[in-house]
């Protein structure tokens, strides 16, 4: 049992008395080192294998006298068990370091760094935000190999509690990819996301709103008159989106260097495509004058659709809100033009492979997909001109009927 020599008042008022370091003994190896500049540190002196050793127990007054005595007693218990407190501390620090390196957050960020170059920027931002907002605050510091299914479920159910059922499923899917990466790199042995199958609230996947084929003429005529309630650039953006049926973010991020107007081609670089493969969009005769108007509107900006800041494009919501103003809220989105085009072109009789290639959907054979940017290009050119002529006819009230049978 230690014979305590110091009092709380003595610790508080202690000075070095002019010495570089003054060592005040509290019994059983515990000392308060008092420096000339007023700093005070707790240290424990002990013997191990006939060698004198010393171990820091913290800074006074952050570590009080009573706290220092508790630490000393714990270390003496290790000595009685023939353990070296210094070695035990190093081992504990190493375990903490390994736990930090193998925490869910560390593994997730490592996995993210491996994947991010394969994603478009908005998807990369979504994945990062989902982890940082929903998972890291509760599970981020936990070693990935020690997390249990109920812990993960509790984190996911916090998302469900907000009514965000679709997001909950998406976050769980991302966590599953992190666990799979953890397994591959030897940091964990189980993918907990598979243990939670059936534990989440079912959700109905929401498809992007799109008008039916028979509603398309009225929509096209509404867009043609958008200048009366909005601006010409947005009207042209909607018309060009209908003509090309690219993804909305692919259109608004378009730069003039991507266009070969002499050959009526728009080449979207791989880094802007969802599937990270360069994509060719044949331009119809109707699209070229639209681009000429947009060139004048863009006033020297590198973007085809510059925003108020000419160094940035218009926002993702510009066309969506324009559709709202036209009375199509909940009825049509920018992505809806892709669905409408796919439906009508398939009904028309175009080769499904040609349609899918122009929609830039994922190649089943990824090796083959790396070399097919111009695949079916003559057929695609013919199809895109047919589509533009078809839209023209609808917009002007002609009784245009789809052609049945194979046309490409």
Active-site amino acid positions: 247, 274, 335, 338, 361, 371
Closest Cα partner for 240 from 306, 286, 300? 286
Tokens of 72: 């000393």
Which distant-in-sequence residues (6+ apart) come within 8 Å of 6 by Cβ?
Answer: 24, 25, 26, 32, 65
How many Cα neighbours within 13 Å face the side chain of 212? 2
- Name the burial class of residue 372, with classes exposed (0-12), middle (13-18) and buried (19+) by CB atoms within 10 angstroms of its CB: middle
């Amino acid at each position: 049992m230690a014979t305590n020599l110091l009092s709380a008042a003595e610790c508080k008022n202690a000075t070095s008395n002019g010495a570089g370091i003054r060592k005040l003994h509290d019994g059983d190896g515990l000392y308060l080192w008092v420096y000339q500049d007023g700093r005070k540190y707790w240290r424990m002196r002990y013997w191990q294998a006939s060698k004198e050793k010393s171990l820091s127990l913290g800074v006074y007054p952050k570590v009080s006298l009573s706290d220092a005595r508790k630490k000393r007693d714990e270390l003496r218990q290790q000595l009685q068990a023939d353990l070296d407190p210094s070695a035990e501390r190093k081992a504990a620090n190493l375990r903490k370091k390994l736990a930090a390196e193998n925490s869910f957050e560390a593994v997730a960020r490592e996995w993210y760094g491996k994947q991010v170059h394969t994603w478009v920027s908005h998807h990369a931002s979504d994945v990062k935000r989902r982890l940082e907002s929903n998972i890291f605050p509760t599970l981020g510091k936990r070693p990935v190999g020690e997390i249990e299914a109920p812990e993960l479920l509790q984190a996911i159910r916090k998302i469900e509690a907000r009514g965000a059922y679709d997001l909950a499923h998406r976050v769980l899917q991302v966590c599953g990819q992190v666990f799979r990466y953890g397994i591959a790199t030897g940091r964990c042995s189980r993918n907990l996301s598979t243990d939670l199958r059936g534990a989440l609230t079912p959700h109905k996947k929401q498809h992007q709103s799109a008008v039916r084929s028979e509603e398309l003429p009225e929509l096209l005529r509404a867009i043609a008159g958008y200048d009366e309630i909005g601006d010409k650039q947005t009207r042209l953006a909607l018309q060009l989106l209908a003509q090309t049926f690219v993804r909305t973010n692919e259109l608004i991020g378009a730069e003039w260097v991507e266009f070969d107007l002499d050959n009526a081609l728009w080449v979207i670089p791989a880094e802007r495509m969802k599937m990270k493969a360069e994509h060719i969009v044949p331009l119809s005769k109707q699209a070229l004058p639209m681009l000429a108007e947009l060139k004048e509107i863009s006033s020297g900006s590198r973007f085809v659709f510059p925003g108020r800041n000419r160094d940035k494009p218009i926002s993702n919501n510009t066309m969506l809100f324009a559709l709202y103003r036209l009375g199509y809220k909940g009825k049509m989105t920018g992505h809806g033009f892709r669905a409408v085009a796919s439906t009508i072109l398939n009904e028309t009789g175009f080769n499904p492979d040609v349609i899918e290639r122009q929609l830039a959907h994922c190649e089943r054979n990824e090796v083959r997909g790396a070399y097919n940017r111009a695949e079916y290009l003559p057929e695609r050119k013919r199809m895109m001109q047919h589509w533009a002529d078809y839209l023209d006819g609808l917009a002007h009230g002609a009784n245009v009927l789809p052609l049945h049978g194979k046309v490409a």
